Structure 1
Amino acid sequence: MKIAIVIPAHNEAMTIINCLASVQTAIEQLPSTIAAYPLVVLDSCTDNTLELIKTAGVDYICCDYHCVGRVRDMGIRHAIAHGANWLACTDADSVVTTDWLVQQINHTTQQPTDMICGVVSVDSWTHLTPQTQEDYIKHYQDMMGHHHIHGANLSFSSEAYLAVGGFAPLPCHEDVDLVKKFETRGYAITWSNRVRVITSSRLEARATEGFAAFLANLEKINL
């Protein structure tokens, strides 16, 4: 198996190093028979994200799409063209757990699956109202069999990805659209809370209807 961890980035100089460090730690937990590497897709970056990635010695490609669906698809197709047969997606403002990749492998070996939808935890609630935290926890199902979808914690086989046509060129909800394609075609999906990512609680959204926007809307209601 060859795993590519595809990470879109738009002006993520504040967070990309922690993200890549967590991915590297997760890679180091894998058996030597499995090859894995991160690939950062820089989309219209105007800060020093590129310099940080170069210093880290991580593979990268660049684009100017301003569209996360196109960015993810570009990175994944690039990785598949270079031999990756399992794709793991996360975001540049997130950190993956140490066993993030190991748990994915465990799922694929215990019961064959074409896609894994993992869960996310919020990194900090300190700048948000207690009511926002309470409302979020009430909404979120941190358990096996959940039905949350996060581009920051989504993985799948290359074969199934290509068969369904990949991520649509959408500025948001590209992850939801992809999961629906897998469901429509009858591919096996594992909804796991063993595959975990910690994501930023920032309220400045990169995508107009992404996770940051969801938190910002909760906070606005509770102010």
Structure 2
Amino acid sequence: MSTPAKVAVVVPARDEETLLPGCLDAIDVAIDHLRADHPDVAVHVFVALDACRDGSADVVARRPGVTAVPLAAGCVGRARAAAVEAASEWAAGSPGGTLWLANTDADSVVPPRWLTTQVRLAAAGFDLVVGTVRPRPADLSEDALAAWHARHSSAHGHEHVHGANLGFAMAAYEAVGGYAPLPLHEDVDLVTAMQEVGIGWIATGAIPVTTSGRAVGRVSGGFASYLGKLAT
């Protein structure tokens, strides 16, 4: 595809009032870089507030250029899908041009060139960009951090899939029916479906996202549970 005309950042959040401000701050920096390189590209952020009982909605309400997408599913697959649907409706408000969807998580911090790199790869012909993540070192013991690095590559061509660092064209998303309503591994399910239908993709280590290293997450069996088992 050519350079996308519109970029939507989609973020699922569930009781993330503490970490969500840092996530949105980092996205703002990434948007500034994108606008400097591509001033004609429209950008907007969508936060799916899924069954939040804390002040996450207040965090979003104070942010210009960020749209809240409230739901009560308690399911990350449904939350991501709701944010994408809202992004699609936003993009349809101005005709013409392709939509790129950059995905991260509310407990994560994206790098400054996160969006510009995804847009560059989209313009190079990739409809799916699979990035890497790294847990915040301060959140893990030395043994757990060493175990993480031993099991995870940050190089180009890596084999990992993380919803906190994914980008794809709307057309590719629609071609596989979107995010499944799964409580876990909805990201792997989506990427696998895209790969199986032959969508052009790339696994890159150029834009690592830093994510929370907490051992207790919002759902049993997710990324936090995995980290909690390291070095045990």
TM range (shorter): over 0.9
After superposing the two structures, state which structure 1 stretch, 203-212 or 98-107, moved more: 203-212
Alpha-carbon distance in structure 2 between the residues aligned to 1:61 and 1:127: 29
Instruction: Please give the root-mean-square deviation of Cα atoms over the aligned residues, in Å.
Output: 1.2
SS at match of 2:52: coil
Q: Where do 5+ consecutive residues of structure 2 fail to align?
A: 92-97
- Percent pairwise identity: 36
Contact 2:46 2:86 in 1 (8 A): no
Residue among 45, 49, 56 paired with 1:38: 45
SS at match of 1:195: coil
- Tell me the alpha carbon deviations over residues 140-172 of structure 1, each in whole angstroms, 9 at most, x when there is no partner: 111000011000001100011011000100000
The amino acid of 1:21's aligned partner reads D
Contact 1:94 1:199 in 2 (8 A): yes
Contact 2:30 2:115 in 1 (8 A): yes
Alpha-carbon distance in structure 1 between the residues aligned to 2:82 and 2:61: 19
- Give how far 1:97 is off: 0.4
Contact 1:173 1:209 in 2 (8 A): no
- Give how far 1:130 is off: 2.0
Q: Does 1:85 align with 2:92?
A: no
Matched residue, 2:21: 17
Residue among 139, 145, 165 paired with 1:133: 145
Contact 2:139 2:212 in 1 (8 A): no
Alpha-carbon distance in structure 2 between the residues aligned to 1:128 and 1:178: 29
Matched residue, 1:94: 108
Residue among 153, 165, 169 paired with 2:177: 165
Matched residue, 1:123: 136
Alpha-carbon distance in structure 1 between the residues aligned to 2:173 and 2:39: 25
- Give how far 1:127 is off: 4.8
Q: Where do 5+ consecutive residues of structure 1 fail to align?
A: none
Matched residue, 1:185: 197
- Give how far 1:106 is off: 1.7
The amino acid of 1:36's aligned partner reads V
**Matched positions, count:** 218
